Amino acid sequence: MSEPLLRVDDVARHYTMRRGLFGRPTEVRAVDGVSFSIGRGETLGIVGESGSGKSTTGRVVLGLEDPDRGSVAFDGAALPPIGTPAWRGLRARMQMIFQDPLGALDRRLPIATQVREPLDIHGLGEPTARDARVVDLLDRVGLSADHGRRFPHELSGGQRQRAVLARALATAPDFLVCDEPISALDVSIQAQVVNLLTDLQAELGLAMLFVSHDLRVVRQVSRRVAVMYLGRIVEEGDADDLFAAPAHPYTRALVSAAPTPGRRMVDRVVLQGDPPDPADRPSGCSFHPRCPVAASRCRIEDPALVELGGGRRAACLFAAPGADAPSRKVA
Amino acid sequence: MLRHLLFRGLRALLTVALVVTFAFVVLRLSADPALIILGPEASPEMIAAFRKSWGLDEPIWVQYVDYFRAILRGELGRSMRDGRPAIELVAERIPATLALTLPALALKLGVGVPAGIWASLHRGTVIDRAVMAMAVAGFTVPSFVLGLVLVLIFSVRLGWLPSGGQDTWVHAVLPIVTMGVGGAAALARFTRSAMLEVLGQPYIRTASAKGVPWARVIRDHALPNAAIPTVTIVGFMVGTLIAGAVVVESVFSWPGVGRLLVVAVANRDLAVVQCILLLVAATMVCSNLLVDFLYGFLDPRLRQGARAGAH
Amino acid sequence: MADVSLAPPRRALLARLRPPRLPIAVALALAWVVAMVLIAIFADRIAPHGYTTLDLKNRLAGPGNPVHWLGTDELGRDVLSRLVASIRVSLAIAFGATVISAVVGTTLGFLAAHFRGAVEQAVLMLADFQASMPFLIMALSVLAFFGNSLPLLIGLMGLYGWERYARIARGLAVSAGAQGYAAAVRQLGATPARVYGRHILPNIASTLIVSATLVFPEVILMESGLSFLGLGVQPPMTSLGNMVGWGREYLTRAPWILLAPSITIVLTTLAVSILGDGLRDRLDPTLR
């Protein structure tokens, strides 16, 4: 087995928050002990609700934030400190696609200039050849040279995201983090951008970390998926297997809630309780207040991520792939 | 509430300390005071004696500490011209300045605020435009020009009012008007904006839609809410009363603190300048504190917030 | 994925050639400012006489005099020539001071936004301090302690209003940096200098320029006030405030000596204010 491109080891990231002006500071554990690895050309999808810490994970993995615990290794080497020239140079190999393409672009500059910027920053290729490369990049994401002359606000949402993609690919990176790249787009456009991503991935051999709350998209793009809840991975495994036979009660609920065309929704698991608040984690298993199969043990024991065989891991005392949810709940 | 005030008080003290430091730094950075005061012909012994009596031969941080201690004791030096304590000189001029600035402040409030409110209630009409035009005029005409023009008209051509000096109360009319007009204009403009912003809020429309008479809406809803930002501006004006007096007192040869400052600067009379600087800082800080205090009463949100937070 | 349709090229070109229609007040203000700038630049060539040239036979001549269109002062110096020279000095000082304070303020604002923490607190505290102390008093203190010279005066005036630029620059840089294009470019590997210079600064330039046009007339008024008190520009150099100060003696006998510069001060301040308001309405209605 070759060395994975990205290895994340027990990474944690917390923020300190004050409740009101006179309250005591509370620690918000956005990411609380996450480990995974991504091989070259491989795509890992991360799914979760808001507050699950998936966006923060993406930022830490890319080196945009320092983890408070654990380590991130890219291509065998630890990430350089943020803001150093080494860190800046490494940007050419790892890039990010954002949720809001309009915000990620400078509204004063035409698209082509912005796509060209990484080439200027890292000094790639002869200055005269850079414009040709920009045209090539635009073409690859499905934009014309005419689009390149326009300003961000003159393009549609889908076109803007393509432009951001072109800019991210300019330096031929090895690794791409996509943080909810299609959530802000119209549904009809989402499919096109997703297809573009999968095509590019196959073409360029990109490794990707695809973060989203939309299961169907994640399933289409990723080979492996990790499900996050309150800063931890609660289940991880092959994408198709995981969605066909989820092991963790949370994953089961998510999967059952996602509508599949041509099939009526059956066995829909509805979660009780409030959405997770990272500033106020429950004791024991963090999912137990909402879990349909929670037992009294779950309030005390915090389950670790355990191998279930077949490349699947889950963090639940009752985890079993494809198991039906027991209907009774032990108080 | 108390904690809030304490915090503000600390900040105020910090500001005063900054001003004192500023004065000290500027004082020491400038050319050797001894040479300035004694002049180039002074003998080396005179210079040495002067430096000793003023403590200018100590290391700089010792001077700073001494300086601070002296200020706290109220020793602000002596005027370099006639040797009298600077505080005395300044103190005896304060009443004259107050005789101008207080009526001027009343004028600013009494004319500016109603004009601004009036303009905001008749937005877009001739009244509004007239008030705004006068406000702009008040802002662009510097006080010395206004003062001199008023003298030209009322004193020289019409002979109604005297042009300078401090003999009778009539002498105060032109200076007060000159001082008041600029501030009235600024207040009118500001009050108008504040009122317009409040009047555009949904709760005003709701009150009016509920059938509350318009006059009541203005009195009970609009005015109190517009008062809050206005209080800040008025506080600022109070804090800068002396600054406004400087030019006007010079134009009308009025023997107040402002005029004293100009003369002291021209004569490089450092003790007096420093004393007035501290006086201005103190005035400003006090007025800011007062404004903060008033805010606590006027703005119920602040009252609530403090109470909810303190357990 | 339809393209955003553009206006036919011909129509767009014609629209750009036609000058924008200006409200009459703004047009007049613009005309005045342009006239003042031209006078300032070509002062030497416009002035009929030297501004220190004495004409003792024609002392205190009134305006309308064939040789001295605006009259003369007590030493027979031509008021028009002195006015022209004063315009140059006052505008030069105001312009220089505005540029200095804009540069200083913006730089400090960027530093505060970039480094956050202690640096930001220090800058904000200084800004608060500057905003609350009356500038006139501080200026007078500095002039008392340091004496008077033109470079000092310009430097001093250059501190007028820096805190406004600093607050704007810091606020906009922070909001640009948190989400959005600055973070995205930094994430591309750009150096901070590039981020601030090529992206943030051009995007906030219009707001800064509007602020500058609002500060500029205040600088003129401040410098005039100082010069009027005899503590600003020193003779033999002459500025607008200076002329008013010296002309005060002859208020009764020869009011034109101080009226000419006074009117100029008022009109120039008014014109720049109107331009500033017009610019603000066009570029950045969010600024109050």
pLDDT digits (tens, 9 = 90+) for A209-244: 999 888 888 888 888 999 988 888 888 989 888 888
- Chain B residues with CB inside 8 Å of A21's CB? 305, 309
Interhelix angle for B143-150 vs B170-199, to 10°?
A: 130
Closest CA relative to residue B188, chosen from B136, B117, B112, B118: B112
At residue C47, what is the residue type? A
pLDDT at A327 > cutoff 50: no
Region label for A204, one of left (φ > 0), alpha (ψ between -120 and 50) or beta (otherwise): alpha
pLDDT at B35 > cutoff 60: no
A21 shares contact with chain B (CB less than 8 Å): yes
Note the pLDDT of residue A328: 36
- Chain A residues with CB inside 8 Å of B3's CB? 22
What percent of chain A clears pLDDT 90, i.e. is strictly above it?
Answer: 11
Which distant-in-sequence residues (6+ apart) come within 8 Å of B69 by Cβ?
Answer: none
Sign for the CA dihedral angle at B237, B239, B245, B247 comes to negative
Closest residue in C to A87 (Cα) is: C189
Closest residue in C to A98 (Cα) is: C184
Contact B222, B204 (CB under 8 A): yes
Q: Tell me the pLDDT band of B309, cut-offs 50, 70 and 90.
A: very low
Answer whether B311 sits within 8 Å of A22, measured CB to CB: yes
Q: In whole numbers, what is the pLDDT of chain B averaged over residues?
A: 78
Closest CA relative to residue C237, chosen from C100, C93, C136: C93
**For A128-137, B4-13, B240-249, C272-281, which range has the lowest pLDDT when averaged over its residues?**
B4-13
Neighbours of A330 (CB within 10 A): 10
pLDDT at C21 > cutoff 60: yes
Q: In whole numbers, what is the pLDDT of chain C averaged over residues?
A: 82
Instruction: Compute chain B's Rg from CA coordinates.
Output: 24
Token pair recorded at residue B274: 């420093």
User: Which carries the bigger pLDDT value, residue A284 or residue B37?
Assistant: A284
Token pair recorded at residue C96: 């220089």
B144: distance to nearest CA of chain A, Å? 45
CA gap A286, A264 in Å, rounded: 31
Q: Across the interface, which of A91, A189, A192 has its CB nearest the CB of C187?
A: A91
Alpha helical stretches, state H, chain C: 9-17, 24-41, 43-46, 79-115, 117-132, 135-146, 150-157, 162-178, 181-187, 192-194, 201-228, 240-247, 256-283
Alpha helical stretches, state H, C42-78: 43-46
pTM of this prediction?
A: 0.76
B39 shares contact with chain A (CB less than 8 Å): no
User: Which carries the bigger pLDDT value, residue A310 or residue A74?
Assistant: A74
Answer whether B274 sits within 8 Å of C137, measured CB to CB: no
C131: distance to nearest CA of chain B, Å? 10
Note the pLDDT of residue B163: 65
**For A209-213, B51-55, B121-125, C47-51, which range has the lowest pLDDT when averaged over its residues?**
B51-55
- Chain B residues with CB inside 8 Å of A23's CB? 309
At residue C81, what is the residue type? S
Q: Tell me the pLDDT band of C220, cut-offs 50, 70 and 90.
A: very high
Token pair recorded at residue C253: 């006998």
CA gap B226, B229 in Å, rounded: 6
Contact A42, A238 (CB under 8 A): no
**For A276-280, B272-276, C77-81, C220-224, which range has the lowest pLDDT when averaged over its residues?**
A276-280
B309 shares contact with chain A (CB less than 8 Å): yes
B211: distance to nearest CA of chain C, Å? 33
Ranges A205-209, B158-162, C22-26, most confident: A205-209
Give the rounded distance of the alpha carbon of B242 from its chain centre: 5
Answer whether B305 sits within 8 Å of A21, measured CB to CB: yes
The ipTM is: 0.80
Note the pLDDT of residue B74: 67
In this prediction, residues C202-221 reach a mean pLDDT of 88
- Chain B residues with CB inside 8 Å of A20's CB? 308-309
Answer whether C1 sits within 8 Å of A155, measured CB to CB: no
Token pair recorded at residue C68: 């001295």
CA gap A175, A178 in Å, rounded: 10
C120-167 pLDDT per residue, tens: 888 888 888 888 788 888 888 888 777 778 888 898 999 998 998 999
In this prediction, residues C38-64 reach a mean pLDDT of 79
Distances (CA, A) of A121 to A95, A138, C198: 14, 18, 12
CA gap A97, A210 in Å, rounded: 10
Region label for A252, one of left (φ > 0), alpha (ψ between -120 and 50) or beta (otherwise): alpha
In this prediction, residues B32-45 reach a mean pLDDT of 60
Which distant-in-sequence residues (6+ apart) come within 8 Å of A280 by Cβ?
Answer: none
pLDDT at B186 > cutoff 80: yes
Which fold is adopted by the domain A6-93+173-329? Rossmann fold (3.40.50)
A24 shares contact with chain B (CB less than 8 Å): no
Closest residue in B to C128 (Cα) is: B15
C228 shares contact with chain B (CB less than 8 Å): yes
Distances (CA, A) of C178 to A115, B30, C171: 21, 43, 11
CA gap C103, C154 in Å, rounded: 14
Distances (CA, A) of A275 to A146, A304, B47, B93, C151: 45, 22, 79, 69, 64
Contact A17, A194 (CB under 8 A): no
**For B107-111, B131-135, B163-167, which range has the lowest pLDDT when averaged over its residues?**
B163-167
In this prediction, residues B213-225 reach a mean pLDDT of 81
Q: How many CB pairs under 8 A join A and C?
A: 58
pLDDT at B40 > cutoff 60: no
Burial tier of A35 (Cβ tally within 10 Å: 0-12, 13-18, 19+): middle
In this prediction, residues C1-12 reach a mean pLDDT of 46
CA gap A218, A178 in Å, rounded: 11
DSSP for B196-256, written as a single string: HHHHTSHHHHHHHHTT--HHHHIIIIIHHHHHHHHHHHHHHHHHTHHHHHHHHHHHTT--S
Query: Which of A61, A65, A82, A88 to mutate to probe the C interface, most C CBs <10 Å?
Result: A88
Note the pLDDT of residue A316: 83
In this prediction, residues B46-65 reach a mean pLDDT of 68
Residues of C engaging A, defined by a Cβ cutoff of 8 Å: 1-2, 4, 179-181, 183-185, 187-192, 194, 199, 202-203
A242 membership: H or E segment, kind and range: helix A239-244
Interior angle at CA A51, CA A47 and CA A53, nearest 5: 60
Answer whether C184 sits within 8 Å of A92, measured CB to CB: no
Answer whether C273 sits within 8 Å of B240, measured CB to CB: no
What percent of chain C clears pLDDT 70, i.e. is strictly above it?
Answer: 90
pLDDT at A331 > cutoff 50: no
pLDDT at C207 > cutoff 90: no
Which distant-in-sequence residues (6+ apart) come within 8 Å of B58 by Cβ?
Answer: B66
Give the rounded distance of the alpha carbon of C197 from its chain centre: 23
Ranges A194-198, B223-227, C93-97, C211-215, most confident: C93-97
CA gap B286, A53 in Å, rounded: 49
Note the pLDDT of residue B306: 43
User: Which carries the bigger pLDDT value, residue B233 or residue C162?
Assistant: C162
CA gap C91, C36 in Å, rounded: 8
Interhelix angle for C24-41 vs C256-283, to 10°?
A: 120
Closest residue in A to B310 (Cα) is: A22
- Chain C residues with CB inside 8 Å of B264's CB? 144
pLDDT at C101 > cutoff 90: yes
Note the pLDDT of residue A326: 44
B58-98 pLDDT per residue, tens: 666 776 777 777 777 766 666 666 777 778 888 888 888 88
Q: Tell me the pLDDT band of B41, cut-offs 50, 70 and 90.
A: low
Answer whether B19 sits within 8 Å of C133, measured CB to CB: yes
B305 shares contact with chain A (CB less than 8 Å): yes
CA gap A113, A103 in Å, rounded: 16
Note the pLDDT of residue A28: 82
Note the pLDDT of residue C1: 41
Neighbours of A331 (CB within 10 A): 6
Note the pLDDT of residue C267: 92
In this prediction, residues A92-107 reach a mean pLDDT of 87
Residues paired with A226 in a beta bridge: A46, A236
Token pair recorded at residue A330: 């032990």
**For B25-34, B89-98, B289-298, which range has the lowest pLDDT when averaged over its residues?**
B25-34
At residue C184, what is the residue type? A
DSSP state of A288: G
Neighbours of B200 (CB within 10 A): 9
Note the pLDDT of residue C204: 85
Query: Which of A18, A19, A22 to mutate to probe the B interface, most B CBs <10 Å?
Result: A22
Q: Tell me the pLDDT band of C2, cut-offs 50, 70 and 90.
A: very low
Query: Which of C140, C156, C228, C272 to mutate to probe the B interface, most B CBs <10 Å?
Result: C140
Query: Which of B140, B149, B269, B286 to mutate to probe the C interface, most C CBs <10 Å?
Result: B140
Q: Across the interface, which of A104, A158, A192 has its CB nearest the CB of C184?
A: A104
Q: Tell me the pLDDT band of A264, cut-offs 50, 70 and 90.
A: low
Q: Tell me the pLDDT band of C7, cut-offs 50, 70 and 90.
A: very low
pLDDT at B165 > cutoff 80: no
Answer whether A106 sits within 8 Å of C181, measured CB to CB: yes
Token match 């809020």: residue?
A: B201
Contact A177, A198 (CB under 8 A): no
Subunits with at least 3 CB pairs below 8 A relative to chain B? Answer: A, C
In this prediction, residues A155-173 reach a mean pLDDT of 90
Neighbours of C219 (CB within 10 A): 25
- Chain A residues with CB inside 8 Å of C4's CB? 150, 154-156
CA gap A65, A86 in Å, rounded: 15
A106-134 pLDDT per residue, tens: 888 899 999 999 998 888 888 888 888 99
Answer whether A92 sits within 8 Å of C179, measured CB to CB: no
Note the pLDDT of residue B308: 42
B6 shares contact with chain A (CB less than 8 Å): no
Token match 């951008």: residue?
A: A193
Answer whether A20 sits within 8 Å of B308, measured CB to CB: yes
Note the pLDDT of residue C16: 53
Answer whether A121 sits within 8 Å of C188, measured CB to CB: yes
Residues paired with A270 in a beta bridge: none
What 3-state class would DSSP assign to A268?
coil
Note the pLDDT of residue B39: 56
pLDDT at C194 > cutoff 80: yes
C278: distance to nearest CA of chain A, Å? 22
Q: In whole numbers, what is the pLDDT of chain A averaged over residues?
A: 83
Answer whether B269 sits within 8 Å of C144, measured CB to CB: yes
In this prediction, residues A202-208 reach a mean pLDDT of 88
CA gap B90, A316 in Å, rounded: 80
Sign for the CA dihedral angle at A36, A38, A44, A50 comes to positive
The domain limits of chain A are: 6-93+173-329, 104-171
B31: distance to nearest CA of chain C, Å? 7
Token pair recorded at residue A89: 């140079």
Contact C218, C160 (CB under 8 A): yes
CA gap C93, C91 in Å, rounded: 5
Closest residue in A to B305 (Cα) is: A21
CA gap C271, C281 in Å, rounded: 15
DSSP for B101-155, written as a single string: HHHHHHHIIIIIHHHHHHHHHTTTSHHHHHHHHHHHHHHHS-HHHHHHHHIIIII
